[in-house]
Amino acid sequence: MKDLKLAGLKSERSSIDINGVTLGGKEVILIGGPCAVESSIQMSQAAETVRKAGGKILRGGVFKPRTSPYSFQGLGREGLNYLVQAASEQGLLCVTEVIDAPSLEVVIDEIDIIQIGARNMQNFELLKLAGKIKKPVILKRGLSATIEEWLLAAEYILSAGNPNVILCERGIRTYEPSTRNTLDLSAVGVAKELSHLPVIVDPSHAAGRRDLISSLSKAAIASGADGLLIEMHPNPAEAVSDGPQSLHPEEFAQLAGELGIVANAVNRTFACGRVNEGETLETLRSQIDEIDQTIIERLAARMQIVSKVADQKRLDRVKDSTREKEVLQRLTNLGEELKLPSELVKKIYPIIFEVAVQSQIKQKMKREADIDLSLVSPLGSK
Amino acid sequence: MKDLKLAGLKSERSSIDINGVTLGGKEVILIGGPCAVESSIQMSQAAETVRKAGGKILRGGVFKPRTSPYSFQGLGREGLNYLVQAASEQGLLCVTEVIDAPSLEVVIDEIDIIQIGARNMQNFELLKLAGKIKKPVILKRGLSATIEEWLLAAEYILSAGNPNVILCERGIRTYEPSTRNTLDLSAVGVAKELSHLPVIVDPSHAAGRRDLISSLSKAAIASGADGLLIEMHPNPAEAVSDGPQSLHPEEFAQLAGELGIVANAVNRTFACGRVNEGETLETLRSQIDEIDQTIIERLAARMQIVSKVADQKRLDRVKDSTREKEVLQRLTNLGEELKLPSELVKKIYPIIFEVAVQSQIKQKMKREADIDLSLVSPLGSK
Amino acid sequence: MKDLKLAGLKSERSSIDINGVTLGGKEVILIGGPCAVESSIQMSQAAETVRKAGGKILRGGVFKPRTSPYSFQGLGREGLNYLVQAASEQGLLCVTEVIDAPSLEVVIDEIDIIQIGARNMQNFELLKLAGKIKKPVILKRGLSATIEEWLLAAEYILSAGNPNVILCERGIRTYEPSTRNTLDLSAVGVAKELSHLPVIVDPSHAAGRRDLISSLSKAAIASGADGLLIEMHPNPAEAVSDGPQSLHPEEFAQLAGELGIVANAVNRTFACGRVNEGETLETLRSQIDEIDQTIIERLAARMQIVSKVADQKRLDRVKDSTREKEVLQRLTNLGEELKLPSELVKKIYPIIFEVAVQSQIKQKMKREADIDLSLVSPLGSK
Amino acid sequence: MKDLKLAGLKSERSSIDINGVTLGGKEVILIGGPCAVESSIQMSQAAETVRKAGGKILRGGVFKPRTSPYSFQGLGREGLNYLVQAASEQGLLCVTEVIDAPSLEVVIDEIDIIQIGARNMQNFELLKLAGKIKKPVILKRGLSATIEEWLLAAEYILSAGNPNVILCERGIRTYEPSTRNTLDLSAVGVAKELSHLPVIVDPSHAAGRRDLISSLSKAAIASGADGLLIEMHPNPAEAVSDGPQSLHPEEFAQLAGELGIVANAVNRTFACGRVNEGETLETLRSQIDEIDQTIIERLAARMQIVSKVADQKRLDRVKDSTREKEVLQRLTNLGEELKLPSELVKKIYPIIFEVAVQSQIKQKMKREADIDLSLVSPLGSK
């Protein structure tokens, strides 16, 4: 793909910083909000839900490209005000779709990120316009675009002068009828292999149904996505568009609460938001329980690996003080970054080290005893 | 889908036990091995790699359905012996594909699981035969089968008397050329919503290229898959078929080492195998480092949630001894299940509790002091 | 496609003779009948309709591969008798689908042609069996098979020893919902370019709806297809399967009546059958009217081309007696082949020649007169 | 599809008249020309080829939507001049693609028809603009648009005030690699069933290869298309875009020469253009030979139907003078419309009538004689 002159540059950085929110960094970025901006109150509620869930960016369409000319076409400038106001109140960034030169003109000074929708992925004149602005652009993959065509669409924006393109996989058109489109998570890996651009995933438009959003969101993060774009509506049953695929606020909050651990599992981070006033003691405690379970499982896995290490070392060398000090220092530093009281790391890690060593010594002695016993056994042992 | 009389039963159990290996339980099951059985030595090496990586089932084709009549068609009965022997030596189960009545006859007494390939998903006569045996059947989704058709194919097997069907998503045919097929991870959720059958994922045939297997495997687990079917070959460069999509043994081992934490993140388990003799001290230590990082991150997340809990309680009630005892007991039990020395949990959790409480008290006092100060300030504070 | 060793041979003949019916010759072959054989009376009626419409082969499924195990699976041997009996009564050949070794065994001695269905296109064991018989095989393209895979499936049959394979395009799976599948008429040209095998088209399974069969059948012939496989049922409303896509007998007869002229338009032939007892004088006359219209249109087109010829010749050479004799002889011979009374050709063609010549002479004289007049005109002419 | 308020009106006329060229009438309209306008000489040559072949409209892109930003983007206003000039010289209409408001502005006063390309089919802002102009619009189907979405895109133009929309099927995206896209000829019938709009077919973009254009063009006409949009280039090997799918001028001329008879076969007309100066006597004579063959075949078919008519009437009523007069009058009128010398019809049809009657009488007498003979035969006859 020789024409990916800019999108294909491997040396360039691949993270985009937008007023302190970094797309393409270690943190997985959550973008949420309704398909269409409908009212001031709707957007306020949506923004609050997004912020509390740990989302960083509020979405909402004000210029809607709709399949039928008789469907709701968006609130335009009025909707833009609702979106910007709601995002600002909650300290969120905001993103909205543009569909032509006039709509771009309307939003450009108000919005943090512009979106180019799937149906406009090969509207090359719009891509060129998006290349002349300074704001970052989320470029959705076309309904039946190959990954190469998608990257070449990004190249239009890049080559026109705007280096800040975020790719968004949103499902492709296939024969399968049980979902609106087929989410192509291979696209995350392929796009990242061919380009240096951040890639986010929109599971909502892909699935077209609420019940799959949670599993697809986790899968997207596990596949390496840099962020998620999820439709959520304060009252999906009354949404003017895409209601069936929009999460309820509490579903959105719950999903967000489950993403952090998946992000960690692939060396990424995601921090769920501050306490939801509606969060009960029970919810919080069950979150703690889940974390505790992970800690114990990880400790057990750690102990198993330590046991393998021990297999490779002489008994008298199972304890390795230099490494222990080094590890302790590193973890203390990490803990501080994460606002963990430093005494906690300093108190429990020596215990973890010690228990591990004792456990190894016991096992070794037991094995050797078994061997000795077998040697002295009159019949030997099998 | 009224015809899913058996596949659609929601009351029925959805886990299948095969000589101690449970498909559809909490544990994610790893199946690995080459596309085609080629030699005794190839299978021995493959089996060892699978077992060490924590895999439970060895795969290998001996009757190969090939697009061209001039391609290698499999070693047949001779290959079967290599497969069964290699699996047996390593304490693994084994699975192979059958393509008609005679091939089923050949393998049925030797093999633990039979596989029906994508191209035969609607070979209804073969499905009926598979319904008359007692062994479990992995049923791959057809190249362009809808999920409904796939479940109806399973219904053929179930209605003929064999309740042990394991569904396998392996990618569907789309227009996208950068992968061999498009892995449809929505299918995991949809199939599980419509049926009670276990669902595993084969990322190898979907991607058709080695470099995407790791991210797609993790995504598959995150999406809720009950297992993975991954092609691995001792020497992919010389594989008679599917070399480009087969992992090298060391890639397979590395991937397996990274799956456990992803499984945990979605409340599943996967235990990577015992030490690989080739594993260096460095590899093991880097695994430990990764686990330690997770533990610290989880401890930090825990502390944040505790802080939210504290917000909801009176200062004098931050410490809740009853709950602490209960938690400690539960975690000790879990630790024991996982062979974690019980003293470790008993020693570190009280510290975690204590540091958390102290930290909350300090913060509360600080906040109150701030408020007091603001009250006495001559000008007040913003 | 190096593996098309036999299918790709360009020197080999590409027509298959089956008891006097030639597939792949100048004549377009019509195959008709119901999806499933249901009763003796149904098949008798179907066979009569097929024969009267000019069809040469009766189809009817007796072993039905069905998506659901609870759908009608075919009458088996009993149905076979109905099919064979009905075909024999009307002097038709017959074709039915086989799905495995036992069903092939049942039909092989009774049937003229066997069919391998789309879902079994890559059931390679069945293909090999079909390669060991002597009867011709209609091989349907798989639901999502590439043309290359389809030809390689044919290669399985050819390489196993049976040279008589007829390819059948029947629509491929796409995202478009308004038809059951998407008929790919490019496949006719591509398959004929890559192989020497006859290619027929099944518009019924492609469309899945009766109202498109007529236009797709004509398109198929125009694209170069060697035959049509069309579902027709004496009473579609009560068909056990595929009712909505089956033509009513009168629709089938009407379509057949319109195919001949399309076949002629691409240098092929199709002769509609003998008078339908139900045919009214009105129907017959409207057929005559249609033919007359074509004759006049063709005569007008002929006159225009003659006029171009005249432009290239000197006036005194407009009449070319040698060619006229030659043409007359050729057309008389052709007329005899087609049972046209020879006097008709001998009487009307001299008139056609004469009128053409006179017409040319008049035009030339008129043009020259115009030129002369313009020369003598005092003002000249525009 | 309730939203097809205007596109779905069945009462409305479905033909669009553009300066004397009627799209959606009895005549099939041929549109030809290169993908991109490259030079004045290229367009002159193309226009001449189109006109001579009987084409009515010249195409040529001056604003090119290209997948890569580094591909040739069109000559713009300069190219427009070449296109308009070349069309005007040959008395052709012209069509070019617009991609946004400014390009529409440039071409609107110069061009007869505007085209909206596949990639812009859901560029709703462009559709609305196209709805505000008076000139007809060719609306190509999107690469993966359903027929419903395509008609709703047309509805955007109609509902904005422009009733003159011509739909153009140009192939859809599927998995099949041997053609660029898959031509969906079912779409012609479906679009005509759901709407009253004319439907044309572009086989060039569908096939992406020159060798299939002829068979697909004929198939398109047979399927009921109102016109063809075919890429042709004076020198395809040097075309800046789409060379491999562009016909050579002589291929275009030859194809055009074969379309008339196909059009006639489905009750449409297409008149190939005047003599090509390059046309040899041999070519013209072979065209005449082809027409003569059709005439004879049709005469033979006529005789067969007359024979059926005779079966239904008493011998003494085989001749029906009233009908003969009526037929003769009608055909004479038709002949005059088609510029056929009226004496020709008046001379040959009485012969056709007479020979038919004599032939019937002879056959009847022969049959009756056979019966009589059989009655007197001492042994009877079978």
Mean pLDDT confidence for A243-265: 94
Q: What would the pLDDT profile of C170-186 be if each residue is shown by its tens digit? A: 999 999 999 999 999 99
Same domain for D211 and D78, yes or no, is yes
| Cβ–Cβ contact C175 with A under 8 A | yes
Domain boundary among A236, A270, A304: A270
Chains A, B: CB contacts within 8 A come to 288
* Low-confidence residues in chain D, pLDDT < 50: 275-277, 378-382
What is the amino acid identity at position C340? Answer: L
Domain boundary among D244, D270, D296: D270
Residue of D nearest to B177 (CA): D175
- Supply the pTM of this predicted model: 0.81
CB contact under 8 A, C173 and A175: yes
| Cβ–Cβ contact B175 with D under 8 A | yes
**pLDDT at residue number B292:** 85
Same domain for D144 and D163, yes or no, is yes
Subunits close to C (at least 3 CB pairs below 8 A)? A, B, D
CB contact under 8 A, D299 and C274: no
Q: What would the pLDDT profile of A52-72 be if each residue is shown by its tens digit? A: 999 999 999 999 989 999 998
Same domain for A228 and A289, yes or no, is no
Q: What would the pLDDT profile of B43-78 be if each residue is shown by its tens digit? A: 999 999 999 999 999 999 999 989 999 998 899 999
Q: What are phi and psi of C330, to 5 degrees?
A: -60, -45
Hey, what are D28's tokens? 């099939």
CB contact under 8 A, C173 and A173: no
| Cβ–Cβ contact A146 with C under 8 A | no
Same domain for A187 and A314, yes or no, is no
Mean pLDDT confidence for A247-273: 91
Same domain for C72 and C46, yes or no, is yes
Burial of C1 (0-12, 13-18, 19+ CB in 10 A): middle
In this prediction the ipTM stands at 0.80
Same domain for C337 and C221, yes or no, is no
CATH number, domain with residue C141? 3.20.20.70
SS3 label, residue B221: helix
**pLDDT at residue number B276:** 46
Mutation site for D-interface testing, chosen from C178, C183, C193 by largest number of D Cβ within 10 Å: C178
C-chain residues near A144 (CB < 8 A): 175
Same domain for D146 and D286, yes or no, is no
A-chain residues near C175 (CB < 8 A): 144, 173-175
Residue C327 has pLDDT above 90, yes or no: no
CB contact under 8 A, D327 and C190: no
Residue A137 has pLDDT above 70, yes or no: yes
Characterize the bridge pairing of strands C21-23 and C57-59: unpaired
Count of structural domains, chain C: 2
Residue of B nearest to A192 (CA): B212
| Cβ–Cβ contact B287 with A under 8 A | yes
Separation between Cα atoms, residue B266 and residue B222, nearest integer Å: 6
| Cβ–Cβ contact B218 with A under 8 A | yes
The percentage of chain C sitting over the pLDDT mark of 70, rounded to a whole number, equals: 92
How many Å is the maximal CA-CA distance in chain D? 95
- Per the document, the length of chain B is 382
**pLDDT at residue number B380:** 41
Domain for residue B348, yes or no?
A: yes
Residue of D nearest to C357 (CA): D341
Same domain for C109 and C163, yes or no, is yes
B-chain residues near A179 (CB < 8 A): 186, 190
Residue C316 has pLDDT above 70, yes or no: no
Q: What domain range includes position D309?
A: 281-376
| Cβ–Cβ contact D175 with B under 8 A | yes
Same domain for A255 and A311, yes or no, is no
Across chain A, mean pLDDT equals 89
CB contact under 8 A, A182 and B186: yes
CB D228 within 8 A of CB D220: yes
Domain for residue B381, yes or no?
A: no
| Cβ–Cβ contact A275 with B under 8 A | yes
Same domain for D285 and D337, yes or no, is yes
Q: What would the pLDDT profile of A283-314 be if each residue is shown by its tens digit? A: 788 778 878 888 888 888 888 888 877 776 65
SS3 label, residue D165: strand
Separation between Cα atoms, residue D104 and residue D129, nearest integer Å: 8
Residues of chain A numbered 305-334 and touching chain B (CB < 8 Å): 305-306, 308-309, 311-313, 323, 327, 330-331, 334
| Cβ–Cβ contact A123 with D under 8 A | yes
Q: Which residues contact C65 (CB under 8 A, 6 or more apart)?
A: B122, B124, C97, C99, C117, C119, C120
Q: What would the pLDDT profile of B75-113 be if each residue is shown by its tens digit? A: 999 999 999 999 999 999 999 999 999 999 999 999 999
- In angstroms, the separation between the Cα of residue B64 and the nearest Cα of chain A is 26
**pLDDT at residue number B281:** 75
Domain for residue B235, yes or no?
A: yes
Hey, what are A293's tokens? 């379970």
Residue A377 has pLDDT above 60, yes or no: no
Residue A42 has pLDDT above 80, yes or no: yes
Q: What would the pLDDT profile of C258-284 be if each residue is shown by its tens digit? A: 999 899 999 899 987 644 445 677 777
Residue of A nearest to C174 (CA): A175
A-chain residues near B305 (CB < 8 A): 284, 287-288, 291
**pLDDT at residue number A366:** 78
Subunits close to D (at least 3 CB pairs below 8 A)? A, B, C
CB contact under 8 A, C100 and B100: yes
Separation between Cα atoms, residue A298 and residue B344, nearest integer Å: 13
The percentage of chain A sitting over the pLDDT mark of 90, rounded to a whole number, equals: 63
Name residue B172's beta-bridge partners: B182
Residue of B nearest to C143 (CA): B144
CB contact under 8 A, A123 and D124: no
D-chain residues near A103 (CB < 8 A): 125
Name residue D199's beta-bridge partners: D167
Of A193, A300, A334, the CB nearest to B296: A334
- In angstroms, the separation between the Cα of residue D119 and the nearest Cα of chain B is 16
Domain for residue D369, yes or no?
A: yes
Same domain for B91 and B164, yes or no, is yes
Domain for residue B6, yes or no?
A: no
* Low-confidence residues in chain B, pLDDT < 70: 1, 11-13, 273-279, 312-318, 370-382
**pLDDT at residue number A129:** 97
Characterize the bridge pairing of strands C227-231 and A199-201: unpaired
Domain for residue C11, yes or no?
A: no
Characterize the bridge pairing of strands A21-23 and A16-18: antiparallel
Chains A, D: CB contacts within 8 A come to 75
Percentages (nearest 5) of helix, strand, coil residues in chain D: 50, 15, 35
Residue A173 per-residue DSSP state = -
The string of DSSP letters for D170-226 reads: --B--S--SSSSB-BTHHHHHHHHH--S-EEE-HHHHH-SGGGHHHHHHHHHHHT-S
Domain for residue B5, yes or no?
A: no
CB contact under 8 A, C344 and D299: yes
- In angstroms, the separation between the Cα of residue D26 and the nearest Cα of chain B is 37
Mean pLDDT confidence for A204-213: 96
**pLDDT at residue number B331:** 87
| Cβ–Cβ contact C178 with A under 8 A | no
CATH number, domain with residue B354? 1.20.59.10
Domain for residue B127, yes or no?
A: yes
Q: Nearest-CA neighbor of B51 among B362, B326, B277? A: B277
**pLDDT at residue number A276:** 46
| Cβ–Cβ contact A159 with D under 8 A | yes
C-chain residues near D312 (CB < 8 A): 275, 281, 284
| Cβ–Cβ contact B67 with D under 8 A | no
Domain boundary among B208, B240, B270: B270
**pLDDT at residue number D277:** 45
CB contact under 8 A, D265 and C264: yes
Which residue blocks in chain C are alpha helix, DSSP H? Answer: 40-52, 77-89, 101-107, 124-131, 147-159, 186-194, 203-207, 213-223, 249-265, 281-311, 321-337, 342-376
**pLDDT at residue number C381:** 41
Of B68, B103, B126, the CB nearest to C3: B68
| Cβ–Cβ contact C173 with A under 8 A | yes
Q: What would the pLDDT profile of C200-257 be if each residue is shown by its tens digit? A: 999 999 999 999 999 999 999 999 999 999 999 999 999 988 889 999 999 999 999 9
B-chain residues near A305 (CB < 8 A): 284, 287-288, 291
Mutation site for D-interface testing, chosen from C4, C144, C183, C185 by largest number of D Cβ within 10 Å: C185
Same domain for D36 and D161, yes or no, is yes
Separation between Cα atoms, residue B252 and residue A223, nearest integer Å: 17
